[in-house]
């Protein structure tokens, strides 16, 4: 069996979860989102998903990362950059008016615009997003967190990164640099799609695969980060299911229920078999009605995102 090194804790990993044909991923991106990602997979005809038994990180190998053109195309969708997020409101409660704050992968600066802290610095590679953030009066640089850590070690009271870590090819150096930017006693805030949410039940969710997501984060993987870095876990917070995700949640739940009733084979992340397509079609119509019912109830299940708060030692 192939053995891979975990990109987070460097352990040797043999726990192979699933094998993907890149051609099938390419087809799904084209069918669902109208995007051609074939060039991103040149030289990588097969993608494997592993799960580390030591730190519980799931990672794709090879880590085929999306090109600049891929992300530019995604940013044309109105849902890709959302200015109002529950995670922003939660994170803002951990920021005081006298704090210095670094946001890595700040996009257009939606989080920075809601803050009244002493100093805000954002890092972002997308030139259009940087331009829009600067036009809003924010201090945003086109710079990597590794470069920034070399310039400003131990400078910030708070460092945060929302929905970025899962896109990074080398999460260990990224987290080391983010950690290095923070003062002793300062906070690190990370948000990622949760592998302990309904997201892990969704089949053919290509945005949860390369070249978009390269790692999958469970609560256990986030709880084990302090053992790799000099910090302690303050809080893990799951956002509640957002209205724009309700139908997706219901559909995933219905497909899983039908699979259980019919005693079908173990769920896979990618499944284009006629048998699965039949289950999906059966669930699709019911999901709309189920979502309408769920939206009328004030108690919401956990949603897409988990936010981890750490304190640097």
Class of domain 86-205+223-239+303-312: alpha beta
Give the residue from 209, 199, 217, 220 showing the smallest Cα distance to 60.
Answer: 209
pLDDT over 90 for what percent of the chain? 82
Phi and psi angles of residue 93, each rounded to the nearest 5 degrees, phi first = -70, -15
Rounded-to-integer distance, Cα 194 and Cα 188, Å:
18
Query: Is the pLDDT higher at 259 or at 33?
Result: 33
Identify the pLDDT of residue 1: 60
Rounded-to-integer distance, Cα 158 and Cα 102, Å:
6
- DSSP conformational letter for 58: E
Identify the pLDDT of residue 19: 97
Rounded-to-integer distance, Cα 109 and Cα 133, Å:
5
The answer to whether 118 touches 97, Cβ cutoff 8 Å, is: yes
pLDDT tens per residue across span 25-47: 999 999 999 999 999 999 999 99
pLDDT tens per residue across span 290-299: 998 888 888 8
Identify the pLDDT of residue 38: 97
Rounded-to-integer distance, Cα 72 and Cα 79, Å:
13
Range of lowest pLDDT (58-67, 247-256, 260-269): 260-269
pTM, two decimals, is 0.94
SS3 183: strand
Range of lowest pLDDT (47-61, 167-181, 220-234, 280-294): 280-294
β-partners of residue 48 are 19, 61
Identify the pLDDT of residue 309: 99
Our CA dihedral for 105, 108, 110, 114, rounded to 10 degrees, sits at 100
Identify the pLDDT of residue 2: 76
Domain ranges of the chain: 4-67, 86-205+223-239+303-312, 244-294
Cα-based angle 7, 11, 211 (whole degrees, multiple of 5):
25
């Amino acid at each position: 069996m192939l053995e891979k090194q975990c990109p987070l804790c460097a352990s040797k990993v043999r726990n192979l979860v699933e094998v993907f044909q890149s051609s099938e991923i390419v087809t799904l991106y084209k069918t669902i989102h109208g995007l051609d990602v074939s060039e991103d997979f040149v030289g990588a005809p097969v993608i494997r998903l592993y799960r580390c038994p030591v730190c519980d990180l799931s990672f794709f190998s090879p880590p085929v990362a999306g090109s600049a053109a891929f992300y530019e195309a995604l940013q044309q969708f109105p849902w890709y950059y959302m200015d109002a997020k529950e995670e922003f409101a939660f994170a803002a409660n951990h920021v005081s008016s006298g704090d210095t704050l670094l946001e890595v992968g700040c996009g257009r600066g939606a989080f920075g615009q809601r803050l009244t802290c002493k100093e805000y610095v954002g890092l972002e590679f997308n030139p259009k997003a940087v331009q829009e953030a600067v036009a809003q009066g924010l201090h945003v640089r086109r710079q990597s967190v590794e470069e920034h850590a070399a310039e400003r070690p131990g400078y910030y009271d708070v460092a945060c990164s929302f929905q970025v870590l899962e896109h990074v090819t080398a999460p260990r150096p990224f987290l080391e640099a983010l950690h290095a930017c923070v003062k002793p006693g300062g906070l690190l805030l990370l948000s990622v799609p949760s592998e302990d949410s309904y997201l892990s039940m969704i089949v053919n969710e290509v945005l949860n695969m390369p070249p978009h997501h390269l790692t999958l984060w469970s609560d256990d993987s986030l709880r084990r980060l302090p053992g790799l870095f000099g910090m302690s876990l303050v809080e893990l917070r799951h956002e509640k299911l957002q209205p724009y995700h309700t139908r997706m949640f219901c559909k995933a739940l219905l497909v899983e229920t039908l699979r259980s009733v019919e005693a079908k084979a173990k769920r896979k992340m990618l499944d284009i078999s006629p048998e699965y397509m039949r289950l999906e079609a059966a669930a699709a119509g019911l999901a709309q009605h189920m979502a309408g019912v769920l939206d009328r109830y004030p108690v919401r299940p956990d949603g897409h995102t988990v936010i981890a708060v750490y304190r640097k030692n």
